[in-house]
Structure 1
Amino acid sequence: MAAAPITSAIFGATGLVGAHIVTSLLTLDAFGTVHTITRRAPKQASDAALSKKLDAIVEKDTELWVPKLNELLGSSTDSKTAPSTVFSALGTTRLAAGGIANQWKIDHDLNVEIARAAKAAGVKTFIFVSSAGTRSLMARYLPYSKMKNGVEDTIKELGFDQAIILQPGLILGDREVEHQGAGAFKALVNATGHISKGWHDSLGQEAEVIGRAAAHAALLASQGKAPSKYWVVDTTAIVKLGRDEWKF
């Protein structure tokens, strides 16, 4: 008997990586309804082929996102529409948020609230897109690292049946608003590809590859094939799952 399709909810669905997670889930037969909670409709909502499985919830007030998630998780008795898997690729920049305090509210506080609500409602699998290198001796004290590490630590402490933490390097791809100084770093990473593919893969990964890796990891977890209950998917594993072994 075929396994029931995996129902999921995604935060950060209009971002560079999140959008690719959504597309990956919508194109994989193993995934059923894909709920998104965003300030504006994801681009897939206007695609007739992709939108069939998409439930796009638009809510401009981010303070209402966790209540919206609770509605999805608590009010539905239909296992086909209640999410068993939650993804978060939610994040912003200091500049876009208007300061480090506001960035902390999104990158840390809101992600923590989402994870806690998911656990309280019985979500089995939680996937968080974090960042590589945040625990190094030099980086761990930076505000950005503290945000990511704080979310990772909370997810681990919550004890999901399956937690998956993706830790990509520099995220390659075209953003609507580019991060300050990212253009030069991307050019440097892309230049390494002419010297060594391995160097390039370890330094930066395409957003599409990261999105596919998140979906692939969730699928493996649903099949009982995750290597551990708390699975850290590093840059090497991201390339493996999202590019080299992406056969769907």
Structure 2
Amino acid sequence: MAAAPITSAVFGATGLVGAHLVTSLLSLDAFGTVHTITRRAPKQASDAALSKKLDAVVEKDTEQWVPKFKEVVATTASTSTPTVFSALGTTRQAAGGIANQWKIDHDLNVEVARAAKAAGVKTFVFVSSAGTRSLLARALPYSKMKNGVEDTIKELGFEQAIILKPGLILGDREVEHQGAGVFKALVGATKNVSKAWHDSLGQDADVIAKAAAHAALLASQGKAPSAYWEVEVADIVRLGRDEWKF
């Protein structure tokens, strides 16, 4: 008997990685309804083919996202427990300062993870960042945000937790991280020198999104290497590009 399609919920669905993730999930037969809660309608809502499996809730107040999520879980619990993906994140510039960025990158992600655990969600997937645990980086505010979310997810003890640790995320953001344009140009230049070097420094948002979907699919098949699975850069490239055969 074929496995039932995986119901999922995606936070950060209109962001750089999140938008690609929603498209990937909607395109895969293994995934059923994809629930999103966003400030504005995701672009897939206007695509007749993709929108068939999309349940998009528009809520401008992020403080209402977790209550809305609880409503989603309540309506799907009789058929399947959602796999939850979080690609939530913003920039200091877009948020208007580090304190406001912390509210999204850390506080809201932690709140989502705790709500997911309380709702009985078995698989939680979080898009974090590489290098945040290094001696030099771990004291930085950005690293503290990501590490704090990762630590919470681990402590919650999901049946399956998947933490993606990409390098520089390549793609066009509405508002770039400060100085990211220079780094992206440098990383882009390495593609002509060494593909392996390029892959180790930065990954396309689409590849990261596909790696998240692929990892969740493997977990649903009992093929995850561990209950707390950190998907590092090399595995992101492998799962999201080299072994993406869907």
Q: Give the TM-score normalised by the residue count of structure 2.
A: 0.98
Query: Corresponding residue for 1:242?
Result: 240
For residues 186-222 of structure 1, what are the alpha-carbon distances to aligned partners after superposition, in whole Å with 9 as ceiling and x for unaligned?
A: 0100111111111100000000000000000000000
2:185 counterpart residue number: 187
Residue equivalent to 1:11: 11
Shift in CA distance, 75/48, structure 1 to aligned 2, threshold 3 Å: closer
Offset from partner CA, 1:69-112 (integer Å, 9 cap, x none): 111113444315xx420000000111111111111110000000
User: Quick check: 2:93–2:175 contact (8 Å CA) kept in 1?
Assistant: no
Amino acid of the residue matched to residue 14 of structure 1?
Answer: T
Per mean C-alpha deviation after superposition, the further-off stretch among 190-199 and 158-167 is 190-199
RMSD of Structure 2 on Structure 1 (CA): 0.9
Aligned to 1:130: 128
Matching residue of 1:21? 21
Q: Give me the identity figure in percent.
A: 83
Listed as ranges, the matches of 1:55-134 within 5 Å are 55-79=55-79, 83-134=81-132
Gaps of 5+ in 1: none
The worse-fitting range, judged by mean Cα deviation, of 41-50 and 179-188 is 179-188
Task: Please give the alpha-carbon distance, in whole angstroms, between the structure 2 residues aligned to 1:106 and 1:43.
Answer: 21
- Residue 77 to residue 147, structure 1, CA distance change in 2 (3 Å): closer
2:231 aligned partner, one-letter code = V
Once residues 144 and 121 of structure 1 are traced to their aligned partners in structure 2, the CA distance between those partners, rounded to angstroms, is: 28
Displacement of 1:175 in angstroms is 1.4
- C-alpha separation between the residues in 1 aligned to 2:48 and 2:87? 24
For structure 1, which segment, 140-149 or 186-195, has the greater mean C-alpha deviation from structure 2 after superposition?
186-195
Q: Which residue of the partner structure matches residue 155 of structure 1?
A: 153
For residues 101 and 199 of structure 1, what CA distance do their matches in structure 2 show?
35
Are 2:30 and 1:46 equivalent residues in the alignment? Answer: no
User: Do the aligned partners of residues 63 and 125 (structure 1) sit closer, same or farther apart at CA in structure 2, a change above 3 Å counting?
Assistant: same
Distance 2:77 2:193 in 1: 54
1:132-171 deviation per Cα after TM superposition (whole angstroms, max 9, x unaligned) = 0000000000000000000000000000000000000000
What letter is aligned with 1:140?
Answer: R
Structure 2: where are the runs of 5+ without partners? none
Q: How does 1:219-234 map to 2 (within 5 A)?
A: 219-234=217-232
Q: Aligned partners of 1:89 and 1:72: how far apart in 2?
A: 18
**SS of match in other structure, 2:40:** coil
Structure 2 CA distance, aligned partners of 1:106 and 1:153?
Answer: 16
Aligned structure 1 segments of 4 or more residues deviating by more than 4 angstroms: none
Larger displacement relative to structure 2 (26-35 or 97-106): 97-106
Does the alignment pair 1:172 with 2:159? no
